[in-house]
Structure 1
Amino acid sequence: MFGSQDPEKFKIPLSTSPFEQISNVWNSSHYQDFGIERLVRLFLVSSKVFFPGIYIDFLTRNLPAHSKKIYGEFYVIFKTVMPFVMLHYSLWDHYWLFVFNIYLLIETFLYVFYKIFLPEHNYGKLANRSIILLFFNFFEVIASFGVIYAAGNYLNQPITSWVDALYFSFITGITIGYGDFYPINETGKILVMVQVMSTISFLFLFFNFFAPRAQDITEWNSGNE
C-alpha cells in the first residue's frame, strides 16, 4: 500500500484539525515518503480545507461517537440525494444548483483518492458502515454525472427525461455500453473518461478494503481446520 507503515504507530487521530493534517503530511509525521508521493498526499489533504466535510468532522469531534456519525451520515445522504432531486425535477438548468452539484462531486472525487493515498483511518477490518457510505458516494457520482449529461449537448440524442440521464450515467459508470446513447463531442468523451476513471477508483478502494478481510477469513478458516 502507498507509504504503508505500522498501523498503530502512524494512525492519525480523527479529531486532528485540517491544518494539523496538512502539517503532518508536510513534515512526514505519519509516512516515510518523499517526492511525488508526498506531493500527492499534500495536495489531497490540502484540498479538503475547501470543502465542508472536514469541518463537519472537526466541529463534531467532541460529540459522542454516535452523534458524530449521524452528522457525517446526514451530510453523505444529502450529497447523494441532491443530484437525484435535481434530475427528478429537471433542475439541471439552474446555474447555481449545477455549480453546487459540481462542487460536491469534486469533493467526493478527492475523498475517494484521499481514502486510497491517506488510509490511516482505514487500518484493520472495515466496518459495514464504511462500505455502505462508499456505496452512497458511488451513487452520488452516478447521479451527479447524470445532471452534467442532462445539462449539456454531449450525446448523440438529447436527454429528455431524468431516467435517460440516470440511465446513461449508470451504464457508463459500470462500464457497460449499449450504443443507444454515446458522446459525440470532445467534452462528452472527456466526461465519460472521467466517470470511468471514478469507477476504477471506487473498485480499487473496494478491493483494497475487502482484500484484508478476505485474507483474515482465509487465515481463520485455515486455523480451524
Structure 2
Amino acid sequence: MKKVFTRSMMIFPILFLLISITGTTSFASKIDNTDEFIELVKKTDYFLDYKELLVSETPYILKEVTKEDSLPNGFLVQYEIKYNYELQGEAKLTSILSIVYTKDTEELSAAIIDYSKVLTEKNVYIIDLKTNQEHFGFSVRDNENYNGLEKEINKKLDAIKISNNTNQASTPLYCWYCTQTQSYGGNIQDECNGLVGTLCRYGAKTIYTKLVCNASIVILCYVPQYTLCVDGYWSSNCYLENAVPPPAS
C-alpha cells in the first residue's frame, strides 16, 4: 500500500476536469488566514450540506496555497466524508470534500472526490457541487494501491464472517443486523506532494490550475478509509436500521 502510482500522467486530465466542473462562489472581501477561511467554509452550503457526513470536523488537510511565484494566493481544506454510505456494500469507503479559496478571484470552489464505487465499478468520480452532476474521474482497475486495498478488505470480511457466522442464516427471511462497526486505513501517499508539484510546473495553464496543483489535491494518491461491520446478529425484522439481507444462495 506504499507504492506511488505509476500512471502519474493521469493526474493531468483529472486536475483539469476538477477545475472545469468545480462549483464556485464569489465573496466581497479577501480571506487572509486559515481561521477566516474555515469560518467562511463552515457557513457555506458546501460544508453545511455534508456536515452530517463528515468523519470529523477536523480537516484532513488544511493549508495555505501559492501561485507559481510562491506568493500566497489562497487556502485549501479537505474533509473525509461518508458519502454514499447507504449505497455501498459490506465495506464502506470514505470520499473527500475539497474546498479551495482563491485570493486573486475571491472565489470559493468545491467538489467531492467520490470513492464510493471503487469496489464495485473500479472507478472514482468527481461531483460538481454547483450542479451536483457526477463526472467520471479515473479508473483504478490496474492500480496496485486499490487492488491491495480490495484484497485487504476481503481478507478482513472473510475473517469476520467466520468469527460471527454472518454468511449463514436459518431461513432466507432473516436479515443480518449490524451492531458494531470498525474503521480501518485512510492515508495519503507522502511522495505524492512532490510528484504533483513537479507535473504541475509543466502542465499548469491558468492561475487556478496552478493553485490546485500547488494545493496538492492528490486525487490519485488518496487511499480511502473503510468501515466494516464487525459484530451483529440475525433478525427476522428486516426493517431494522442497518439490516442487511442474507447472501444469495
Mark yes or no: TM-score above 0.5: no
Higher strand share: 2
Provide the TM-score with structure 2 as the length reference.
Answer: 0.24
Higher relative contact order (CA 8 A, sep 6+): 2
